[in-house]
Amino acid sequence: MLELYQHPTCSTCKAARKWLDQHAIEYQAINMIETPPTQEAIANLIKQSDLPLIRFFNTSGNRYRELGLKSRVPDMTISEAAAVLASDGMLIKRPLLTDGKTTTLGFKEDVYEAIWETETKKDRSD
């Protein structure tokens, strides 16, 4: 089952949930502020995704700026970045949607269609 790490009041997260619901795609919604992914889980997602570390950070968030992460992230290891992200769900780009193998960050309808609609169709046909 897909895991949707989200902030319940975030408009982008609401749009992602609406899209998933409209496409009858099952997911578990997890409040990323109350229950952020673990350091180990984030490190695994980073490694599996092949996305740059910066994509996992909510670069427009206040906490990101308060911690001065703009200058620190480029030199971080995966382990260091995962530790920082796991320490505060507000630092993670939201929503984060994963099936454990594939991960998307943020919500763009065309990306969800290309990745999640295709992935869930494959799962249903198996």
Place of tokens 């260091």: 80
Q: Residue 7: which pLDDT band, with cuts at 50, 70 and 90? A: very high
pLDDT tens, residue by residue, 57-111? 999 999 999 999 999 999 999 999 999 999 999 999 999 999 999 999 999 999 9
d(CA 113, CA 117): 5
22-39 residue pLDDT tens? 999 999 999 999 999 999
Average pLDDT, the chain: 93
pLDDT tens digits, 75-85: 999 999 999 99
Task: State the DSSP string of 5-72.
Answer: EE-TT-HHHHHHHHHHHHTT--EEEEETTTSPPPHHHHHHHHHHH---GGGGB-TTSHHHHHTTHHHH
Considering the entire predicted model, what is its pTM?
Answer: 0.90
